[in-house]
Amino acid sequence: MSNMLLNKELKVLAEFTSNYNSELYGRAIASKLKMNQKTVSNVLTKLEKRHIIKFKQEGRNKYYFLNKLNPSTKEMIKLVEVNKRITLFEKYKQINPLFSELEKRTNGISVIFGSYANFTKTEKSDLDLFVIGSISELSDLETLYNIKINVVKSTTNKFKPDDLFSKEILNNHIILKGVDEFIRLIW
């Protein structure tokens, strides 16, 4: 499989990571990604043939969703989540050491959300970090990088994917640490 094809598949599948139970219309995916509709249709067809996604038909429209019964689907979603993290590292190269240090200081899962996750941060933006588990003190990192770090802590027992705040995180997130655990938690 060529890297170009895999890249397109990852882009299309990334649209399903805001809600692993979502049903998406191909035309909406193409519009959001600013990709040719036929290209998206071809990618969706290939993913369907590999049983990564399924679809349901409503009239002439096909609504696609993840095939959660196929173990390969979860592996593809892991690739998508890791690819999102790589994109974060590439976009914010100057603070990669900060991301590495946040990973080291987290015991559990850490997820970036907000302006850093949707790549709209400004000079005044703070870094929103959701932690399921614990994290060490961060004030030295805030001083070093001149970035306010807002940490929201939870536990696996308290985290409910259907509550409003969780949906906000799931809608726009980059998993910094604990990809497998995070996916398992919301799968």
Closest CA to 15 of 60, 62, 57, 77: 77
Residue-range domains of the chain with CATH: 3-66 (1.10.10.10), 92-186 (3.30.460.10)
Per cent of the chain over pLDDT 70 is 97
The type of residue at 115 is: S
Confidence (pTM): 0.92
Residue 12 φ then ψ, to 5°: -65, -45
Q: How far apart are CA 146 and CA 149, in angstroms?
A: 9
The tens digit of pLDDT for each residue in 101-156 reads 999 999 999 999 999 999 999 999 999 999 999 999 999 999 999 999 999 999 99
> For residues 115, 126, 164 and 168, what is the CA-based torsion angle, rounded to 10 degrees?
20
